[in-house]
Amino acid sequence: MSATAVNAPTREVTRIPRSLNSRARDAFAIAQRNLIAYRRVPQLLIFSTIQPIVFVIMFRYVFGGAIGGYKGFAYVDYLMPGVFVQTVVFGSLATAIGLATDMKSGLIERFRSLPMARSAVLTGRTFADLARNVFVYVLMVVVGVIVGFRIHGVIGAFLFSVVLALGFGYAMSWIFATVGLAVGDPETAQAAAFPVLAPLVFASSAFVSTASMPGWLQVWANHQPVTATVNAVRDLCLGLPATGDVIAALAWMIGIVVIFVPISVRLYRRAV
């Protein structure tokens, strides 16, 4: 350390930024910071990619023979859209863990003492997790193709299904932002997330048809967001009529965002 004068306390900026542009700049800075963490701590990414690959192998080769095809398609074509959606839903758990980690470390406190957009911590976090989901999604499509998955509809419909699934994952990120901010501790966030994730992902049409489930469970399984999104993504991949399922999936997505964005923002404002 040198002993010469460090700075005269003149501030280069005196204006308080309120423009959309400066908000986006703050969010981008936070998103970039979160993405660097994925690069530096690759185990964060490796675990969340190995898990869906294990699911693909398990369902495709272990249970697949017993489950059988669907509307004339091979089981692998039924399975992969379910795996895609499951992957982005599990991926959104990273939002809870990331925010809880930042709260625990005190980083959120430093952010709160800075003249930055209040929204940036949450939007930056969720956008980083969206970017991460895009990466994992591409990987899972490649894995799917390797194990025999084929697109049966038009390519445009498939691409739309990707957007739909990623949009759903983004909406789920806001649910888990709420969880992460509420518990404020990464281990607790992970533990709290599983009871939410399990009924959503497993009691859905992701891996098996809901028709095989007992009646009481079907009531839940047929009326929940993962089933709606999986059905829409599956219809689009298989080239089946999709309008009804797509509308249901979009309705869920918008509903989740409308409810959980304000709750997360509120929790963030109160979090200390």
Q: Which residues bind another protein (CB under 8 A)?
A: 1-14, 16-17, 22, 25-26, 29-30, 33, 36-37, 40-41, 103-107, 109-116, 120, 184-185, 272
In sequence order, what E strands does 80-169 have? none
Nearer to another protein, 83 or 116 (CB): 116
Q: State the Cα angle at 137 between 133 and 138, rounded to 5°.
A: 125
State the Cα–Cα distance between residues 147 and 7, nearest whole angstrom: 61
Nearer to another protein, 108 or 208 (CB): 108
CB of 106 to another protein, least distance (A): 4
Nearer to another protein, 104 or 152 (CB): 104
Report how far apart the first and last C-alpha atoms of the chain are (Å, whole number).
Answer: 33
- Give the CA distances from residue 74 to residues 49, 64, 68, 140, 141, in Å, rounded to whole numbers and listed in that order: 24, 9, 7, 18, 16
Nearer to another protein, 34 or 126 (CB): 34
State the Cα–Cα distance between residues 194 and 90, nearest whole angstrom: 9
CB of 13 to another protein, least distance (A): 5
CB of 256 to another protein, least distance (A): 28
CB of 164 to another protein, least distance (A): 32
